[in-house]
A and B are shown apart, each in its own frame.
Chain A
Amino acid sequence: MSYRPEELLAVTLAKLIRAVPTRHIAVGAASPVPAAACWLAVKQGEPVRLSLLHKRTGNPFTEGTRELFDLTGQGRVDLFFLGGGQIDGQANLNLIGTGEWPGREVRFPGSFGSAFMYFMTGRTILFREEHSPRVLVDKVAHISAPGISEPGVYRRGHAQALVTGRCVFAFHPDRGRFSLASVHPGETVEGVREMTGFAFDVDGEVPQTPAPTEEELALLRGSVCDEMMETYPEFCSRVFDRKLAA
């Protein structure tokens, strides 16, 4: 059965969500693929609470925008998604920009809550569709949020994985490095190495990322799309070919 790249990514993220017991996931605004993955995990029967931060109606919070950070500080968010204009081999994230501080060459939007969320959620899945040496760099130009922390700094969690348009990397906070967990259909280990600016570990034979099953695709295109129409109409129209009724 044919599928779109976004569908493969959503299915792959959903497997990472289900791999660890998860009670509560918060999803930021510009994250339609992670949002689809969360809804897929829910529709597959995972008993997880979703807080979708930019849901236009029924936003989960009543104490203003600070509530997300307060409850994350308390340890009530198990999983969050982050990306970055640059991500390096130590899982450092750069949402500031390149060139002299604060991004005099190319300015990215800014760090948002990353400098807090990355420390305080139970775990983080890094997601960046573009997999190129300009995004996956040896060392980020500026650190918005560090991948690992020195002793004496309170840190609840780290990156679980980095999912890109080409592969899945697992992150190992103990050694501060990624290892290649799987390559997407059509990609090779050598090809991934060529397109990655940082060094990573390869432990034995690297499997292929499993393609979506018919059941997974049916859920994505059906009940997952239903849930996402209001917040991500453009995404649903492009990926699932579903348009809002006029």
Chain B
Amino acid sequence: MTPIDLEAMAASVPDGALIALPPDNSLPSVALAKALIRRGARDLRLVGVPVSGFATDILIGAGCVAAVQTSAVSLGEAGFAPRFTAALKAGKLSITDATCPAIHTMLQAAEKGVPFMPLRGIIGSDILANRPDWKVIQSPFDSGEKIVVLPALHPDIAVFHGVMADSHGNVYVGRRRECGTIAHASRRALVTVERVVEGNFLEDERLAPGTINATYISAFAVAERGARPAALLDDYGFDAAYVAAYARAGKTEAGFAEWCAEHVFEARAVAAE
């Protein structure tokens, strides 16, 4: 498997696709999110696994997103996600609220190829009252217990940023194994990586447990610093100043447009020279 171009990867994402994204603490591909903005993607439906962060907010700000299913949207210490909040207020965005383990459980059902899975908790929460797709049943093993069952969730595309890909297209994500879950559960996985290295991670006992088999990877592209401003394991840390500056700029539509011109469009033009 050979890497493809980042912009070509973005071009392969159809408008309206259901895309699973990990948040800022678990290897988001901010590089591909920016490429999707450059390609002018529209009506994307995002799933936060299990919550949403920076990449989701910039995609919403750029008008790429019609709907978000997530358990929370936040920029962490930088506070509320500004373009998410603005779009919600303007009624431009459909939000389906969930709770973290429910997102994981729905993806795990897809991963196992079963139609649904049960999860405790949730009953009595208004999240459930607003989720006609989640059902309460009587446990078939204990007539005294009511329990929620959740449908399998099959995203069209899993998007994340790995540390490295090998000659076979296996991708190393270390302990961030939720990326494996979304790759397993999704019809396609589009992955950006810092670098490509020779060899086969699956033949290395130390790398194999943190590796996603190429079976699940549809394509990968090299994007250095592709998670930035999010951290990449122990390669580079979270850029709090960058996110704080974004949070300030994103407070207004004009501020966001300026930020986007500089950090999404100009930055790419400079890199391409």
Contacts and interface: CB of A to CB of B under 8 A. Distances in A.
A29 interface: yes
A158 B176 CA distance: 31
Contact of B100 (A61, A62, A69): A69
A73 B231 CA distance: 29
B97 interface: yes
B181 interface: yes
B263 interface: no
Interface in B60-104: 70-74, 76-77, 80-81, 85, 88-89, 91, 95, 97-102, 104
Interface stretch (B115-123, B164-172, B193-201): B115-123
B63 to A, nearest CB: 19
A238 interface: no
Interface in A112-169: 112-120, 142-146, 149-150, 152-154
A149 B104 contact: no
B155 interface: no
Given A102-B95, A112-B100, A115-B122, A154 B145 contact: yes
Interface stretch (A42-50, A52-60, A171-179, A219-227): A52-60
A2 interface: no
Contacts of A107: 80, 85, 88-89
Interface string B97-134: 11111101000100000000001111111111010000
B213 interface: no
Chain A residues touching B, majority SS: loop
B120 to A, nearest CB: 5
Interface of A: 29-30, 54, 56-57, 59, 61-66, 69-70, 73, 95-96, 101-104, 107, 109-120, 142-146, 149-150, 152-154, 234
28 contacts: A29-B76, A54-B25, A56-B231, A56-B237, A59-B175, A62-B175, A65-B100, A69-B101, A70-B101, A96-B97, A96-B127, A102-B88, A102-B97, A107-B80, A107-B85, A107-B88, A110-B70, A110-B73, A111-B71, A111-B72, A112-B71, A114-B99, A115-B121, A117-B121, A119-B120, A119-B121, A144-B125, A152-B145
A188 to B, nearest CB: 33
B45 to A, nearest CB: 16
B97 A112 contact: no
Interface in B23-43: 25-26
A74 B252 CA distance: 45
Contacts of A70: 101
Most chain B CB atoms below 10 A, which of A29, A101, A102, A113: A113
Contacts, number: 137
Contacts of A103: 88
B268 interface: no
Contact of A102 (B25, B102, B130, B238): B130
B204 interface: no
Contacts of A143: 124-126
Given A61-B175, A120-B121, A113 B71 contact: yes
B144 interface: yes
A244 to B, nearest CB: 12
A63 B111 CA distance: 15
A233 B231 CA distance: 17
Contacts of A117: 121
Contacts of A145: 125
A177 B91 CA distance: 37
A120 B120 CA distance: 8
A63 B177 CA distance: 6
Nearest to A145: B125
A119 B89 CA distance: 31
Contacts of B147: 154
Nearest to A65: B178
A69 B73 contact: no
Contacts of B121: 115-120
Contacts of A234: 77
A107 B26 CA distance: 24
Top 4 nearest A-B pairs (CB, nearest first) are A110-B72, A64-B178, A69-B101, A146-B124
B59 interface: no
Contacts of B71: 110-113
B146 interface: yes
Given A65-B50, A115-B121, 5 more contacts: A69-B101, A110-B70, A111-B125, A112-B51, A150-B124
